[in-house]
Amino acid sequence: MKVVILCGGEGTRLREETEYKPKPMVSVGGMPILWHIMKAYAHYGFKDFVLCLGYKGDAIKQFFLSQELMGNDITISMNDRTRDVIHKKREGEDWNITFAETGLKSNTGARIARIEKYIEGEEFLATYGDGLTDSNIASEIEFHRKSGATATLTGVHPYSKFGLVQARADGLVEKFVEKPQLYDYVNGGYYVFGRGIFDYLEKDESCVLEGKPFERLAADGKMRMYRHDGFWHSMDTYKDYLELNRMWDEGKRPWKIWQ
Q: Distance (Å, rounded) from C-alpha 246 to C-alpha 17?
A: 16
100 with 115: CB under 8 angstroms? yes
Q: Provide the 3-class DSSP secondary structure of residue 81.
A: helix
pTM attached to this predicted model = 0.87
Contact 87, 75 (CB under 8 A): yes
CATH numbers and ranges of domains, the chain? 2-249 (3.90.550.10)
Write out pLDDT tens, residues 72-96: 788 888 878 777 787 766 667 889 9
- Torsion (CA) 198, 201, 203, 204 in degrees, nearest 10: 170
Tens digit of pLDDT for each residue in 37-63? 999 999 999 999 999 999 999 999 999
Residue 168 to residues 107, 143, 149, 231, Cα–Cα distance (Å)? 47, 42, 46, 31
Helix residue spans in the chain (DSSP H): 15-18, 33-43, 57-71, 108-113, 137-147, 212-219, 238-249
φ, ψ (nearest 5 deg) of residue 194? -90, 165
CA distance 157 to 229: 7
Query: CA quadruple 28, 34, 37, 39: dihedral positive or negative?
Result: negative
Q: Name the nearest CA neighbour of 255 among 24, 40, 33, 57.
A: 40
Write down the pLDDT at residue 89. Answer: 61
pLDDT score of 86: 77
3-state secondary structure of 144: helix
Each residue's pLDDT tens digit, 152-182: 999 998 877 777 788 889 988 888 877 767 7
